[in-house]
A and B are shown apart, each in its own frame.
Chain A
């Protein structure tokens, strides 16, 4: 096909191109920086964008949800206990479970003479599940963020020193890390949580960090070893840069990508770990709640009042899912070689 069209064009239409050596290598468009390139790849990733949207919606509710219904997370009232969910407009939509009717077909709101609507229902002490779910999500996200941040600080310092100085320092530090790596993560977390009698957000996050930072330090060390002998570092060293400024100004910025990806994977696993702890009775102490403790409380009355468990379970699943999707997308965007 293309051969035929080429033959049809008369040869006198062609003109010799001028060879301009000065402009041949001219860069005609602005060049993309690494971060711009990564952002473009990230924005093109459908999964990551979906995760971003879900997380955005969840965050709006996490920030404003606890103030929306007019009930505090620890307001108890046994007269309005165990109400099923009821939402103003949606109560008329048959297939949605927001009509205030329990699974036996009884309208609990009528029976208990409650005029107010509880969007996600109430728990066995009459506390508003809508407020508790979002207040709990706040706690879960905070634990995730805290654990990831402390992980990052320790991991980057340890891995950075180990990789940068190398030699005997590296050997000793790596032996230490290797032993910590062998300790099963959740067992250590359980043991440390047992020591704190009423664990709060900080102590739970700290317990997760105890062995959690090792994987971050390994990644930083690996990158450090790869980068520290490259030309730009040697050049900077030749010009008299101190070790501190080499690490802070040249090396760490260049391994920001893997660090961010690792942090994004730490957040959902910390959220999961906290939920797991709540489930075996070691999580945040009541009346405060996390998503994990809500799911675990709700499970006790799963057969009679399924909404108490299902709503927080959906929120925690969406939360972990969105973080995982974003982390996957970031990994693909920041390190195209790692994906596929």
Chain B
């Protein structure tokens, strides 16, 4: 187990290093200038600005400097927002995004489990079919379509919830629902398949034969084993929630990391793009790493086979 954890950790580190390197050199290839009013500046003025940001040095030196600072947690300063450190900008924006993500994950998992369990226990009935159909629809419709429809009907036409902005809990409800649809659908599909498989296994038949009540069998014997593999979809889930927040935060004017990232793309703010990319990648790699470890810990059968999906 220790060796497995170490191996995973090294992979995570190598991948992150690679991402940082690729991101850095891709940013050097980007067209356009990060400077405001670039065409109005004289060559001397440009020279001064480039010198200030260390952009006049050869690219390998810039790369070495960037990586050195990165190791200290320093992601450079924004070109657009008056030299604000990128690290501060990310930390300052992470609250709403994290809250949205966590709420959507909780709501989605909860709803998904309910749908999945009902579908599995009433296998091949109308409940099962409708849950399956809903799940396929939930996976197919993009979150921004859900977001827009919710906004149009539940905020504009029937003003039950606020249209946008980030002020109270009521403001978080619509974006949370829009984000959670994909999670719900995925968890429902996955837990249904797992639970059906478990319910047909021999130890469940034994438990039933011993006279344990139906509820007892489901809660104590079936669910506990059926839910272990659901942990594996946490990784893809995190990726999806991240991409979801990019769009949904813009849609609902949430001052989160996602809307800042999209904004930095539009304004060519290189250091912010780079910093946020690296931050997102590190976060996702960490989630995948933790899921791998967690899976090995809670299900001893997988330990040696390795948690790679």
Contacts and interface: CB of A to CB of B under 8 A. Distances in A.
Interface stretch (A25-33, A58-66, A175-183, A253-261): A175-183
B11 A299 contact: no
Contacts of B251: 299
B11 A280 contact: no
Given A179-B18, A275-B142, A324-B139, 5 more contacts: A184-B242, A281-B262, A313-B145, A317-B142, A328-B136
Interface stretch (B52-60, B73-81, B205-213, B276-284): B276-284
Contacts of B137: 321
B90 to A, nearest CB: 15
Nearest to B262: A280
A302 B142 contact: no
A299 B19 CA distance: 33
27 contacts: A178-B308, A179-B14, A179-B18, A182-B11, A182-B15, A183-B15, A185-B239, A187-B280, A190-B265, A194-B273, A195-B31, A275-B142, A276-B243, A276-B246, A279-B144, A280-B250, A280-B262, A280-B265, A281-B265, A295-B144, A299-B251, A302-B148, A302-B152, A313-B145, A316-B145, A321-B140, A328-B136
Interface stretch (B22-30, B94-102, B107-115, B165-173): B22-30
Contacts of B136: 47, 321, 324-325, 328
Contacts of A276: 142, 144, 243, 246-247
A266 B174 CA distance: 29
A192 B273 CA distance: 12
B198 interface: no
A309 interface: yes
A320 B152 CA distance: 22
A186 B243 contact: yes
A321 B246 CA distance: 23
Interface in B10-45: 11-12, 14-15, 18-19, 22-23, 26, 29-32
B277 A320 contact: no
Q: How large is the interface on B (under 10, 10 to 19, 20 to 34, 35 or more residues)?
A: 35 or more
A302 B31 contact: no
Interface of A: 47, 178-179, 182-188, 190-192, 194-195, 197, 268, 272, 275-276, 279-282, 295-296, 299, 302-303, 306, 309-310, 313, 316-317, 320-321, 324-325, 328, 340
A275 B262 CA distance: 15
A194 B145 contact: no
Given A282-B265, A299-B144, A317-B142, A194 B246 contact: no
B61 interface: no
B81 to A, nearest CB: 19
A47 B151 CA distance: 30
Nearest to A190: B265
B141 A320 contact: yes
B281 A184 contact: yes
Contacts, number: 108
Given A186-B239, A279-B247, A194 B26 contact: yes
Judged by DSSP, the binding face of B is helix
A179 B243 contact: no
Nearest to B132: A47
A275 B151 CA distance: 19
Nearest to B32: A197
Contacts of B145: 295, 313, 316-317
B205 to A, nearest CB: 18
Contacts of B151: 302
A309 B285 CA distance: 35
Contacts of B31: 195, 197
B142 A320 contact: yes
Interface string B232-271: 0000000100110011001100000000001001100000
Given A280-B246, A313-B145, A306 B26 contact: no
B49 interface: no
B48 interface: no
